[in-house]
Amino acid sequence: MDSCCVALRSNSHLVNARKTGYGNVDNTFLGERTRGSFSKNSIWVNQLKNSLRADDKKEKKIKSGAFAVLTSNNPREAVAVKPGRFERQRVDPKNVASIILGGGPGTHLFPLTKRAATPAVPVGGCYKLIDIPMSNCINSGINKIFVLTQFNSASLNRHISRTYYGNGINFGDGFVEVLAATQTSGEEGKKWFQGTADAVRQFIWLFEDAKMNIENVMILCGDHLYRMDYMEFLQTHVDNNADITISCVPVDNSRASDYGLVKMDGRGRIVQFAEKPTGADLKAMQTDTTLLGLSPQEALGSPYIASMGVYVFKMDVLLKLLRWRYPTSNDFGSEIIPAAVKEHDVQAYIFKDYWEDIGTIKSFYEANLALTEEFPKFEFYDPKTPFYTSPLYLPPTKIDKCRIKDAIISHGCFLRECSVQHSIVGERSRLDYGVDLQDTVMLGADYYQTESEIASLLADGKVPIGIGRNTKIKNCIIDKNAKIGQDVVIVNKDDVQEADRPEEGFYIRSGITIIMEKATIADGTVI
């Protein structure tokens, strides 16, 4: 027979059943998930339709929900929904710990990660990538935050200490704690982090401290761009009584092989997980994404469901997996999650807002420039859920007779009679007379040079920080403290896709020219 359980909020209007559709395997009534198999011609489904159209007097209310008894003409097919089942267990943020992974060597973002950890790379003009998960945690009320670091962590540690220790950000009885890779006694203690799961495993003793009273653990990445209410994510995890919940998004064919892909059953349980599949394995992971609410046309363009790399584990399940079940598995995406899908209740949470993995040069470049559009899909400004970053106490930017279109200009910049189009100009940047900047992400500078210092350098034939007179730059990323001289042309005129020229101060990745940190590009150079 068909079976179903329904939870209805007592203080809400009934939804329009025709909009939702009873034939879907996963429906919602008043915001609550409805579980079960749905046959359009089922006797009790027809009865439920009539019941939902009934007047309010027929609702039976309990503390936080309405309940109903669903029956068919066959007494043996009665389905009873018990009130106690729908008294929701609200997630207490005090019982949640968030672990932000500081990332590996950052090879896909090289050379931006030559001296900085991936989460310390600037984004959006004045933020750093670590500010995304940190701010999402703060805005969600989660105040027990651990950041695991290993590679090039000095600038990341410095940014966290300057931004989140004080500065008016209220953590209550919570904390932000940086856990750097370390070595301890014993053979195992001599190893550095071997992967994402191993990094968490090495500090598992800290997370299981009884004083912390942690029930659920969130695992977050430090190279994603999105705004998310983690409490909704956690509440779904608790409502489903899942062992693990993975936040997922639909993706298209061109990007599917870059992510871990999932397949779900009608109840939202993940039944198959494949990490970055290709060829026939990739095609086998196609699924009907209309079940996620996509239109048939949208589903045709995005036939895959990708893991965001955002997980929540029950604490005891995480301990069991890392310490006892798979003590030698080092990575969540390629080892722990695929194995857990076979043994545990792993649920999918469908994230419907903007999300972008910016762990490659191309995605980093495109996501930054997308912020400059008139109506961007994502923007940092939101008075209710702001993004936090280090207060640098810089003066306003000074702009003198410039032409600026679709651009973000950060604090403390000096722009003199130049043109900036579809570009981001980072903090403390200097653009001199006649500069033409197009489709460029400029990460800024860490310090100022005075006018007298600049004049002295120019008089000696040297190049100051910033961009010199009459320089033309297009399709470029300019790393911090770069020195670009006068009459320089950086346009990748030969359309080179990949090149390594560190001795000349630049790399090319996916056709994008990257001027290295502290590089000097001499007057008159053409790239």
pLDDT classification of 184: cutoffs 50, 70, 90: low
pLDDT classification of 170: cutoffs 50, 70, 90: low
Q: Which of 331-345, 475-489, 494-508 has the lowest average pLDDT? A: 331-345
> Has residue 18 got a pLDDT over 70?
no
pLDDT classification of 37: cutoffs 50, 70, 90: very low
Count CB neighbours of 277 within 10 A: 18
Strand residue runs (E) in 325-445: 346-350, 355-357, 398-400, 403-409, 414-416, 419-425, 430-431, 436-442
**Residue with the two structure tokens 């280090």:** 390
Domains of the chain (ranges, CATH numbers): 4-86 (no CATH), 93-247+308-370 (3.90.550.10), 398-521 (2.160.10.10)
295-322: average pLDDT: 92
360-381: average pLDDT: 94
Contact call for residues 397 and 444 (beta carbons, < 8 A): no
Count CB neighbours of 127 within 10 A: 21
| Paired tokens of 276 | 């970055």
Q: Which residues of 258-274 are buried (b: 16+ CB within 10 A; e: fewer)?
A: ebbbbbbeebbbbeebb
pLDDT in tens, 309-323: 999 999 999 999 988
Q: Residue 89: its pLDDT value, please?
A: 79
pLDDT in tens, 241-252: 999 999 999 999
pLDDT in tens, 250-284: 999 989 999 999 999 888 899 999 989 999 999 99
> Has residue 326 got a pLDDT over 60?
yes
> Has residue 442 got a pLDDT over 70?
yes
pLDDT classification of 91: cutoffs 50, 70, 90: confident
State the virtual CA torsion across 309, 311, 315, 316 in degrees, nearest 10: -80
What is the rounded distance in angstroms from the CA atom of residue 27 to the CA atom of residue 408?
A: 42
pLDDT in tens, 449-458: 999 999 999 9
pLDDT in tens, 111-122: 999 988 899 999
Those residues whose C-beta lies under 8 Å from the C-beta of residue 76, and which sit 6 or more positions away, are: none
498-520: average pLDDT: 96
State the virtual CA torsion across 489, 494, 499, 501 in degrees, nearest 10: -40
> Has residue 504 got a pLDDT over 90?
yes
Q: Residue 80: its pLDDT value, please?
A: 44
> Has residue 507 got a pLDDT over 50?
yes
Q: Residue 174: its pLDDT value, please?
A: 79
| pLDDT, mean over the chain | 83
Q: Residue 202: its pLDDT value, please?
A: 83
| Paired tokens of 207 | 């997370």
> Has residue 467 got a pLDDT over 80?
yes
Q: Residue 25: its pLDDT value, please?
A: 41
* 85/380: higher pLDDT: 380
Q: Residue 190: its pLDDT value, please?
A: 53
Instruction: Classify 199 as helix, strand or coil.
Output: helix
pTM of the model: 0.80
Those residues whose C-beta lies under 8 Å from the C-beta of residue 519, and which sit 6 or more positions away, are: 479, 482, 483, 505, 506
